A and B are shown apart, each in its own frame.
Chain A
Amino acid sequence: MFQFINTLLIGITAGSIYALMAIAIVLVWRSTRVINFAQGGLALASSFVGASILEKTGSFWIALPIAMLAGALFSAFIEFFFLRPLLKRSGDKGEEIFLPIIATLGLLGIIKAVLNFIYGDRVGVIAPPLSDKGFIVSGESIALSPMRLLILGTVFLLMVVLTLIFQRTNLGLSLRASSFAPEISRLAGVRVDVIRTVGWAISGAAGATAGILQTTNGSGSITPESFEFSLLLVFGFVAAVIGGIESLVGAVLGGLTLGIILAIILMYVGGSLVFFAAFLILILVLLLRPHGIIGSKGGRRA
Chain B
Amino acid sequence: MELSEVKVVDVHKPQITNKHRFIGFALIALTVFILSNSVDEWRAFQGATVAVYVVAIASIILLTGYSGQISLGHGALLAVGAYSAAIAQINFQLPILLCFVVAVITTSLFGALLGAAAARLSGPYLAGTTLALAVGLPSIANQFSFLGGEQGISFDVGWPPLSFGEDFTQYKWFFWIATLAALISMWWVQNILRSRYGRTWRAVKTNEVAAELAGINIGRSKVLAFTVSSGIAGLAGALLAMTTNNVSPSVFPLALSFSLATGAVLSGVNTLGGVIIGSVALVAIPEIASLVADRWSGSESVATLLPDLIVSALLILTVFLAPKGPIEKLRSRHVK
Contact = CB atoms under 8 A, between A and B. Distances in A.
Interface string A106-143: 11111011101100110000000000000000000000
A119 B220 CA distance: 49
Contacts of B261: 102, 105
B112 interface: no
Interface in A187-238: 230-231, 234, 237-238
A162 interface: no
Contacts of B85: none
A279 B136 contact: yes
B269 interface: yes
Interface string B303-320: 011101101110110011
Interface residues of A, number: 56
B320 A89 contact: yes
A109 B308 contact: yes
A110 B309 contact: yes
B309 A89 contact: no
A227 to B, nearest CB: 9
A237 B127 CA distance: 10
A116 B262 contact: no
A57 interface: no
B32 interface: no
Contacts of A230: 135, 254
Given A85-B320, A102-B262, A241 B139 contact: no
B314 to A, nearest CB: 8
A282 B123 CA distance: 15
Contacts of B65: 95
B140 A272 contact: yes
A37 B72 CA distance: 11
B132 A106 contact: no
A282 B301 contact: no
A35 interface: yes
B96 interface: no
B312 A110 contact: yes
Contacts of A110: 309, 312-313, 316
Interface string B108-120: 0000000001001
B258 interface: yes
Contact of A94 (B122, B133, B136, B142): B122
Given A98-B70, A275-B136, A103 B316 contact: yes
Given A238-B128, A241-B128, A283-B117, A276 B305 contact: no
Contact of B305 (A102, A116, A234): A116
A274 B132 CA distance: 11
A282 B320 contact: no
A34 B123 CA distance: 9
Contacts of B312: 105-110, 113
B200 interface: no
A286 B140 contact: no
Given A95-B270, A116-B304, A278-B132, A272 B258 contact: no
Contacts of A121: 301
B323 interface: yes
B121 interface: yes
A290 interface: yes
A262 to B, nearest CB: 11
A293 interface: no
Nearest to A116: B305
A278 B141 CA distance: 16
B201 to A, nearest CB: 11
Given A98-B70, A112-B308, A103 B315 contact: yes
A86 interface: yes
Contacts of A298: none
* Residue of A89, A238, A276, A302 most packed against chain B (CB within 10 A): A276
A264 interface: no
B316 A106 contact: yes
Most chain B beta-carbon contacts within 10 A, residue among A34, A89, A103, A109 = A109
Contacts of B133: 279
Contacts of B215: none
Interface in B241-290: 254, 258, 261-262, 265, 269-270
B135 A302 contact: no
A106 B319 contact: yes
B120 A290 contact: yes
A99 interface: yes
Given A94-B122, A279-B136, A103 B143 contact: no
Contact of A34 (B124, B262, B309, B316): B124
A74 interface: no
A264 to B, nearest CB: 16
Interface of B: 64-65, 68, 70, 72, 117, 120-125, 127-129, 131-133, 135-137, 139-143, 205-206, 208, 254, 258, 261-262, 265, 269-270, 301-302, 304-306, 308-309, 311-313, 315-316, 319-320, 323
Which 10 interchain pairs have the tightest Cβ spacing? Answer: A109-B312, A279-B136, A106-B315, A272-B142, A113-B309, A275-B136, A272-B143, A276-B136, A35-B124, A279-B132
Given A106-B319, A113-B308, A272-B140, 4 more contacts: A33-B124, A106-B313, A234-B132, A279-B135
